[in-house]
Every structure is written in C-alpha cells, then in structure tokens.
Amino acid sequence: MALRGENLKMVRKLAVVAAGMFAFGYALIPLYKHICELTGINILAVGEKQVPGGSTVAANTQVDESRTITVEFDANSQGPWKFKPAQASVQVHPGQLATVMYEFQNVQDRTMAAQAIPSYAPRNAAAHFNKLECFCFNQYTLAPGEKKQWPVAFVIDPKLPKDVKTITLSYTFFEVGGKMPGAPG
C-alpha cells in the first residue's frame, strides 16, 4: 500500500509540473511580444501594429519630403514576348518605399526561361536606387501563353544628389540558356 501512495504522490507532482509547463508555454507568446516591444528588437512585434485597429507606428523619419523624384519605367525585350511596366512612372520622396509591377507574357508556343537586367539613367543614380524586391534577382520559366506580374519594391537613398530630379529604371528581358525544347507532342 505504501508503494501505491508514493506512486499517487508522484503522479500529482508530475501533473502539476505538466500544467505549469503548459501555462508557461501559453504565456510565452504575449510575454515575448511585450519584451520585444519594450526593447524594440523584434520587427514582427512592431509590424503587427500596422494591422487595422492596432496602434500606429512612428513615421519613417528617413523620408525627405522636401524633394520629389520622378521614377520612369522602361522595358525592353530580346525575344518574342510581351514585357512592360504596369505604369509609366511614379513620384516618390527619397527614403519612401515604392512598389511597381511589371507584366510579362510568353507569347511563344514553347516554354522559355528568361531573366531581366536593370540599367539606370543617370548613371550616378544607380548607387542610390535600392531594390528590396525585384524580379531581376531570379530567372523565371514560363509556359506557352503564361502571363505573370512581378513587383519591384525600391527606396531611393536620401543622399541622392540634389540635381537629380528624374531617374529612369530600364529592364532588358532576355532568354536564358537558349531555346528550350517544346513539350513532347
């Protein structure tokens, strides 16, 4: 009988430990968010405040609202496909995040792999044009007739020379690796 009493006592202790571990795990997420908000080290905790109904995040103090830069978009293709920006230009302040979509369609009757190479005018703008997301970072394979839209997310460095008022971002889209064989008939 003494052994059974000892076993019940151990089971109770283990149940308390398991309940405590569950409670700690459950409380860990709000505790983590609170610590991150206090220390300012977690971007995710800050990003969640941008949800509608949430509190507001401080404005980006890196944006130079005293200047406006016109960014023009150009598309060239080396092959039989359609490639163009969704809009011809945007106006942004240096330091402001902007996103523009490019549209692509493979009008051929075969699968193809392609990649875009960017160029900038004036040349000195290239060092100040920071792309955060760009389809030019990768090669893409498109099936016959397939259409895609790809984003270019960028920020213009506020250190851009004051005399630069317009930047042209031009992409040349070309086939990579030569022609790919068509699908077996």
Task: Kindly state the tokens that stand for 35.
Answer: 């610590």
CA–CA dist 184, 167 (Å, integer): 45
Q: How many CB atoms within 10 Å of residue 150?
A: 18
CA–CA dist 58, 66 (Å, integer): 19
pTM of the model: 0.60
Mean pLDDT value of segment 85-113:
90
Give the rounded distance of the alpha carbon of 2 from its chain centre: 65
CATH of domain 69-175: 2.60.370.10
pLDDT tens digits, one per residue of 155-181: 999 888 888 899 999 888 888 875 544
Domain chopping of the chain, boundaries: 2-50, 69-175
pLDDT tens digits, one per residue of 76-92: 876 778 888 999 999 99
Peptide bond into 122 cis (omega under 30): yes
